[in-house]
Amino acid sequence: MYSTNGKIAPLADIVSVAEDGGCAIIMDETHAFGCHGPDGAGLVVEQGLAHRVHFRTIGLSKAMAARGGVVVGSRKNMEYFRYEARPMIFSTSVLGYEVAGFNTTLDIIAAEPWRRERLHTNHRYLKDGLLDLGYDVSESDSQIISIVTGTIEDSAVFRRFLEERGVMGSPFCAPATPENKALMRFTVNSSLTREQLDHTLNVCAEALRKLDKIRWPGLLNVRHPLPSVPQKRQTLVRCAGQTA
């Protein structure tokens, strides 16, 4: 799952192409683990590709609510990894209390599938609501939903507007996105209530009415030429969408 727009990659096609070319395959399941597949095992397992994917990487900072990462593979491939992934020898090992935390989180992920169901219901509700408002969020297949705001400046304005109304959005800009295709990312979680989702939708509706200086290139059926940012103002804006 892409971290900028929530789109799910065509994994089976990627695996076929890689196999035709004799390539080893590494899938990053950071955003999918815990949220997809049987017991939250991820998209590779969900799509029956575990035996054809050599390595899966999982960042633990998303559904696992921790830090660090995991590499998963067959015994043989992990033996290869142990000797060939040289930076690994500099890693500090995880501690006992961290392992205990991971185990408890894994138990919750496996035993409480209702959280995944609610996550996907919440995602559908917010995505459909944003589509109804005219935001083109059609690429979002799962919990990440992004609105293309265009310039870094416009993203900063939108970010502040959201924050003042209690809505958390993460701005992304070049080089994480193409130039002038900065975006605002919403990450849905399972504990959001219907009221909170409606509040987010109301704030996004209000933004369309009030932030009329923003060109909103990410609206459905609206094709504006990309605005050019005056050089002087560009220097006042930092990448994270904060004014300097």
Angle between helices 194-210 and 152-164 (to 10 degrees): 130
Q: How near is the Cβ of 133 to ligand PLP at its closest, in Å?
A: 26
Is position 69 an interface residue for ligand PLP (rule: CB under 6 A)? yes
Q: How far is CA 96 from CA 78, 113, 239, in A?
A: 22, 27, 38
- Tell me phi and psi for residue 67, to 5 degrees: -135, 160
Number of residues that bind ligand PLP (CB under 6 A): 7
Is position 171 an interface residue for ligand PLP (rule: CB under 6 A)? no
Structure tokens given for 141: 């297949």
3-state DSSP of 5-45: CCCCCCHHHHHHHHHHCCCCCEEECCCCCCCCCHHHCCHHH
> Which one of the spans 25-33, 34-42, 95-103, 193-201 is the region binding ligand PLP (CB under 6 A)?
25-33
Q: How near is the Cβ of 224 to ligand PLP at its closest, in Å?
A: 29
Instruction: Find the binder of ligand PLP among 30, 149, 177, 180 (CB under 6 A).
Output: 30
Is position 61 an interface residue for ligand PLP (rule: CB under 6 A)? yes
Is position 142 an interface residue for ligand PLP (rule: CB under 6 A)? no
Is position 134 an interface residue for ligand PLP (rule: CB under 6 A)? no
Is position 3 an interface residue for ligand PLP (rule: CB under 6 A)? yes
